[in-house]
Structures are given as C-alpha cells and as structure tokens.
A and B are shown apart, each in its own frame.
Chain A
Amino acid sequence: MPKCNNRFSLKALAAAVSATVALGVVALPTLSHADETACSPFTPLIKGQEDLVYVWTLGVEGIGDGSDKLVTVDVRPGSKTFGKVINSLSVGGRGEAHHMGFSDDRRYMWAGALDSNKMFVFDIGTDPSKPKLVRTITDLVEKTGYVGPHTFYALPGRMMIQALSNAKDHGGVTGIAVYSNDGKFISKHDMPTTKVGGVQGDGYGYDIGINPQKNVLLTSSFTGWNNYMMDLGKMVKDPDAMKHFGNTMAMWNLKTMEPMKVFDVPGAPLEIRWSLKKGDNWAVTATALTSQLYVIKQDKNGEWQSHDVATIGNPADIPLPVDISITADGKGLWVNTFMDGMTRYWDFHDPMHPKEVFKEKIGSQVNMVSQSFDGKRVYYTTSLLGNWDKKGKDDEQFLKMYKWNGKKLSHVFTIDFYKEKLGRAHHMKFQALNLSKLKPLAAAESQDLDSLKLALTEPKGK
C-alpha cells in the first residue's frame, strides 16, 4: 500500500504563495473556504472548469453490490463520456458514507462513514479518473471515543475531523480529531460542554469552518448516532429523540484550539460557509429544525455575535434546510430544503437582510448542492442519511447538473443512481485531471500565516 503523500510543508505552501504572487494572480479572496464545494483554505482550488465530480455514495441493500462506493463522473464539456459514470470503487459494507475532504495538496481524498466510523483515504492524484483506495483508518473510536467522522478539513500536513457522536451512549457529545496526512492520530479536542462567553456549550458537533485571517475556527452542532441513524419519521414522532439536537455554535482560537465563545443557535445549525469577499468578516449557517439562516459576524468592537437573519420556511412544514453553498463573491447563497426537494437562491448583498430571489424543485428530495467556483455550474445530489431519506417512490437518488446564469437554472444531465445500481448519492467533490496549476486560496494573504501554520502543525489537545 503506498504511503499517503505528506509532502505538503510550510515551504511548499510558501513557495506556492510566492509563485501565485509572481504570476500576478493577486485577486485572491481574502478568505478561503471557497464553496468550490467547501474546501479548506489550505487546499488548492479549481477556479475554472472542473473535470470530474466524485460522489460518495451509500450502499443500499438490494441495489447492485450493496456497498458504499466512490463514484467518478466525467463532466468535461465535449467529452464522449460527459455526464456519465466512468468509475465506481466499492469500499465494502454499508457504513453510512457521508462527507469527504481533500488533503492539503488535493492529491488524496478522505471520506468518512458515520456508522462504521471508518475513514477511507483515496489517491486521486495519480490518476484522478481512477481513484484508488490506499488506506482505511479504523482507530477513530479507539483513539478518541468519538463516533461518526463527519467533516474532513485539511490543515498543513494534517486532517481535522469533526465527529458527531460518542461511543459511550451514541448521544451528541463529541469532538474534533486531528490526524496526520499518513493516517496517524495526533490529538483530540472535545466540544465545549461548559459555559463559554456566558452561553452553555452542549458538546455537539457538525461542521468546521476556518477563517485563517481571524485565526478562528467556527463549529456547529447536529445530533448523535441515536438520531442520525434513525428513520426520520420515527425520530420526529419520538419526543425523547427530538430533545437531543445541538443548539449552539462555537468560535475557537485556531492556534490554541480553545473555545472562545459559544453562541445560542437553536435548532441544529449545520453547514458553515465563510464569506469569501475581501474584507468580509462573517459566516452563515442554516438551522435544520428551526429553518433559519444565521450569520456569525464581528461587531465594531471585534466581538463575534450571532444573528438570526432570515426564515427559510415554516418549521411546522419541516422544510429541513440541509446543504448550503455560498458564491465566491459572498453575494449569493444556495439553500437546499430536503423535504420539498427545493433549491433556493438567496441574495446576500446585505448579509444581515438576505432575501430569497429564486427557487426551483430539483426532485422529491434534495440534499447536497455544490457550485463551481465561478458559480456557473451547480450540482445536486439527493441522499441526506440512509435512514432519513424518503421511502418508496419519493426515494429518488440522483446526481443532477445545471447551468446557472444568475436568473435561472438550466438542466444539463441527470444520473439515476438507482438505475445505475450504485446507491444513495451523497457528498460531491470536484477534481481536475491536471493538478499542477491549482493553487490554494487566500490563506496566502494571512499576515500571521507562518505562525498560524506552525501552530496548526504542532500537536495539541489530549
């Protein structure tokens, strides 16, 4: 088994930054976390046309081989196989495949399974069109006691992993694990369970978003294994289950990995997206249960504050906002609502007063939305969680691609994941066949980057 690439170093990043500046590519946004499907600031980005879309797919008993798999789709315009599945790599078992994240050099993809707690590392650099499974990490629970590896977020030479649950009671109290690029456990960091900044931490976790310029890490909160593995209808009818969702977000000092402030954000705040616009100092999230948009923003005193800025839908109708995707200029936000299968475009010119300006039904259910960096192409998949997806005829499973001209979506292709005997289509990541020209985004402009990188590289935590 080949050793995973661990060659990303401070020197390499510095060289990349220098090269970027030398080439005159100075119009980089200040922050990174670009929603070229929510990458880390330290991961090179595809700012032009993506060549491939990877879909981390849940195996379904009775569908094909029934196994979780990484599906590769060709999206090169003009290609003979455009809009077709060109590769499918089964990893064995149904472990609740969920999210993925690139390594800091984009040559490896980490993909997690929320039930089996396995973390799969694929080589997507040697031949991006044919990913190869090079490592399966099985010691997350053993090393941390955490369950449900959810968000994978690259640091220099490291992978930060936000978990969802724990092995003691399968509840929502959990934490963040840090692994080296070659799959060795480094540290663990419990989510706050005490009062921080006057607000009680609930210990729950979901997403990670780093703002390197501000030296902050923002986290959100969902629920534990007991709930995310349960049939959605059964859960909604169970009063005890519904009491166990996260209601907080936390701002951490990234260098020290200490929580600085906990925010009340009731109703399960999920995906975190920082605005990429230069000078912006805010992030946005959507609450799954209460159907609100929240903005976390610095006030004039530099203090981080949370703001309930908009209602996505009537919570009693359970619209269930799930994935969101921010435009590179921070002026727009895609919001998917799972239950009605709608995608919604919100005008974010004024983040404190966003407005929904467009909506369209994508399918009977829709979860993930990923837009290209230029915002011209938008991709959708359907699966939320294996047991939260709808049953029967409403259980559509697909990858759909659209073009977006700022006013309307134009359908380009659909791949029916059941017809193709693949399974439930979940997280998407883009890839380029030629990685040599890709550059990491704006972490380069951090004034304190060297010390930040050093801090991130030093082991911390328990």
Chain B
Amino acid sequence: MKVIRALRWLSMASVLSSLSPVVRADTPVNLPIPLGLPPLVIPASNPLTQEKIDLGRRLFMDRRLSHNNTMSCGMCHVPEQGFTSHELGAAIGMEGRSHRRNSPTMFNVGYQRSLFLEGREPHLEDQIWGPLLTKNEMDMPAIGYVVEKVRQLPEYKGMFEAAFNGPVTAERIGQAIASYERTLVSGNSRFDRWYYGGEKNALNATEQRGFQVFMGKGRCVACHSIGEKSALFTDHKFHNTGLGWERTMFPERTTYRVQLAPNVFVDVNAQHLKSFEPPMPDVGRYEVTFNPKDSWAYKTPILRNVELTSPYMHDGSLRTLEEVVDFYDKGGIDNPEKSPLIVRLNLTPDEKSALVAFLKSLTGDNVAALVRDARLAPENLPIPDHDPSDTFMSQVNARRP
C-alpha cells in the first residue's frame, strides 16, 4: 500500500507539474521500496528529485528524441506492454532498421548492474546515449544535436532549470531519464507476500509446487537468485544457454511455420525468403569482453512481472513462458561454451505447469499505476519546423558577425 500511495503522490505531482513545468526546484523523492525488493542505490551524483523524474518521464515518452521524430524510448518499451513490445521478437528502430535483440523490460531497471543484454553499459545515466545515437534505434546525428533539439523544444522551457538549476546538457538529459527509470520499481507480488510477508494463502498449492520446482529440480534459482530478505531473480551474470549460438551458427531453417490469420498457419519454404535480410549475427557478451568464454552469453533477466514481458529470451524468439520452460527442460542447446548450470531437467508436465504458474505470481501490485504514470507525459507534441542544427547555426551567426 505504501508503494501505491507513493505512486499516487508521484502521479499527483506529475499532474501538477504538467500544468506548470516549474513547481519548485530540488524536491527530494524518497522512493518507497515495495516488499520483496532490496534497497535501491541512488548515485550521490544524481539524487532523485520530483523535477528530474517529471523531466525524465517527458523525455522518455517524447518521439522527438529520434532524428525523424518517430521513435521515443516508450515506443519500444511500451508501458501497456510490460515496458517492452509484445508485437516484436527483435525490435526495429529508425526507418524500420532491424535489431538483433528483444527490447528488455524497464521494470526494476534501477537495480540492474549493467545495461543492455550483453551488459556493455555500466551506468544508467549514460545508457540513453546508446539508443539515441545508434543508427538502428533513434539515429540522432550527434550528442550536441540532441542537446540543441531539446533546448529548442518549447515544451522543455524551464524544466532543466527547475530540475538542475542550469540549462540542457547531455549529462542532465541522461540524469533525468535515469531518474524517471528508477521509479519503475515493481514488487509486492503475491510471491513476495507469501515468501517475505508471511501470507500463507497468497500463493495457491500449484504455485507453491512451482516454487519448489524453481528452487529444486528446475534449478532456476541457480541464476535467478532469491535472497533471504529480497529477490531480484537475477545473478547479474551472463550465461550461454545455446540459443544465441544456434541463432548465429545455424540461423537458417528449411521451413518456417507462419501465421497468416487467426488459426491459419502454413509452412513456408525458406527459399521464398532468400531475397530478404539475412539473420544478423550476435555473439553476446563476447562483443564487450572479447573473451571467447563469453561467446553467446547474455544477461540473466530479472523475472519480476515476467508474465507481462513476452516474448522471451535475448532475441524474443520464445513467445510464451511454457516455451521457455520447455527450452530449459531440454537443457538449452548444447554448444562448446554452454553454461554448466544448464542441464536437462526431465520435468513432468505437472511440474512444468506448476513452474509457469509460479512465474505468474511474480507480478507486482503497481503495474497499472506505473502505466498510468508513464502516460502522464504529454503525447504527440508538435514536431519542430526547423532542423535544430540549422536553428543553432542561425543563432550563432546572429551573435557572431
């Protein structure tokens, strides 16, 4: 309930701030931590304030932060779709350019110790510059271009001054977005109330059996860690399940099962698709460390709200939790660098369904509130009439004859 009250307070503050961008500077926010989650580490260099959260929310949802004004963070991390996208296995970005990987959920992103699925970014404050500048994401031409564009957008007038006592800078853009993202904490699930809160009936018998599978025969807990006082369901490490290896080493199949309409499926010969884009290779964590041992290893995802974040795996290739459980039951896909933690499980059908039922008990109690809060950001703001770099140049030229 504390979390709900806090979110209501946040929402009210957001409404007020949207009416008048400057409420007052440096309104500190002590983010309540729901049952089941550990304390959230807030960097001393970027303390949480309401002004930064409001600004970050607006930036997160603003499609104008892409070069052609079509992509915001929220277009791939759709609030109503578990802050990921249910419609795409691997994402697409600016001008429809292909991505190799699924959009990870933003729930509890403040707890991540590395960002992106191969963990290339250590800092949440810096993470945004990857998507902003990457050609197949938001494709902004340069850091300064982003800063100038935001500075010139009238809807941001005064907001940076209110949040930071200073003008728009690249660092402040990152700090504001990180501040908003840290508010996406989600816990107090039925599991939390059962395991940490002592509510004996919060999980039914099937879900409790599923928990036993999770902790025992299923070996899930080996990577999706559970602590004595809290659980993030991740070890923050990188593991090779074989899925990435297979996708890169043996990407082509002879046929594809394709849905044409509801309940209408056909098997399409791969030859029909040879004139299109080939699968994109992806070597996972190796791309960061260049250590062959890290080949095709991807970060263990946080499982909270997992029932809301389909499709699954690093490339979104598994559509349901049942498919995920089946994949691990078979021991993943054998390859030279497969994690020794992943072995054949031989789960019974009952154990599999119980495990899925348990996973669905991990849904936080504040999801709807977080979605409403995200949509407090103004939508579909006017796109600029002029290119921001042209405007910048004309202003400079006017000052410097």
Please report the C-alpha to C-alpha distance between residue A115 and residue B94 in the assembled complex, in whole angstroms: 9
CB B256 to nearest CB in A, in angstroms, measures 5
Taking beta carbons and an 8 Å cutoff, which residues of B are in contact with A? 63, 68-70, 75, 78, 80-81, 85-90, 92, 95-96, 98, 256-262, 264, 266-269, 272-273, 275-278, 310-311, 316, 319, 379-383, 385
Residue contact B266 to A315, C-beta cutoff 8 Å: yes
Binds B, one of A18-26, A47-55, A78-86, A137-145: A137-145
On whether A391 and B69 interact (CB within 8 A), knowing A142-B380, A226-B92, the answer reads no
Number of A-B contacts (CB under 8 A): 148
Q: Could you tell me which residues of chain A, from 76 to 102, have a CB within 8 Å of some CB in chain B?
A: 93-96
Query: At the interface with chain B, which of A119-127, A239-247, A329-337, A454-462?
Result: A239-247
> Which one of A1-9, A165-173, A254-262, A299-307 is at the B interface?
A165-173
Are A142 and B382 closer than 8 Å at their CB atoms? yes
Residue ID in chain B nearest A320 by CB atoms: B272
Task: Establish whether residues A115 and B70, one from each chain, have CB atoms under 8 Å apart when the complex forms.
Answer: yes
Q: Does A37 sit at the interface, judged by CB under 8 A?
A: no
Interface contact B96-A386, CB-CB below 8 Å: yes
With A and B bound together, what is the CA distance between A96 and B273 in angstroms? 22
Taking a contact as CB atoms closer than 8 A, the residue among A228, A232, A287 that contacts B276 in the complex is A232
Nearest chain A CB to B322's CB is how many angstroms away? Answer: 14
In the complex, chain A residues 131-163 whose Cβ is within 8 Å of any chain B Cβ: 138-139, 141-142, 145, 147
Residues of chain A in range 245-288 having any CB-CB distance to chain B below 8 Å: 245, 247, 266-268, 287
- Chain A, residues 364-404, CB within 8 Å of chain B (1/0): the string is 10000000000000000000001100111011000000000
Complex CA–CA separation, A19 to B188 (angstroms): 75
B380 lies within 8 A of A167 (CB): yes
- Is the beta-carbon distance between B316 and A240 smaller than 8 angstroms? yes
Q: Is the beta-carbon distance between B96 and A115 smaller than 8 angstroms? A: yes
Q: Do A241 and B268 touch across chains, with their CB atoms under 8 A apart?
A: no
The residue of chain B having its C-beta at the shortest distance from the C-beta of A395 within the complex is: B275
Q: Considering residues A266, A289, A316, A386, which has the most beta carbons from chain B within 10 angstroms of its beta carbon?
A: A316
Which of B87, B278, B380 is in CB contact (< 8 Å) with A226? B87
Whether A391 and B92, one on each chain, are in contact in the complex, defined by CB atoms closer than 8 angstroms, is: no
- Is A350 part of the contact surface with B, judged by Cβ < 8 Å? no
* Cβ B81 vs Cβ A316 within 8 A: no
* Contact across chains for A394 and B275 when beta carbons are under 8 A apart: yes
Which residues of A sit under 8 angstroms from B276, Cβ to Cβ? 231-234, 390-391
Of A93, A95, A168, A238, which one neighbours B90 at CB under 8 angstroms? A238
- Known interface pairs A237-B273, A241-B88; A231-B96 also in contact (CB < 8 Å): yes
Q: Which residues of A contact B88 (CB under 8 A)?
A: 226, 230, 238, 240-241
Nearest CB on A from B108, distance (A): 21
Contact A239 B275 (CB under 8 A): no
- Neighbouring B residues of A95 by C-beta, 8 Å: 68
Q: Which of B257, B277, B319 contacts A240 (CB 8 A)?
A: B319
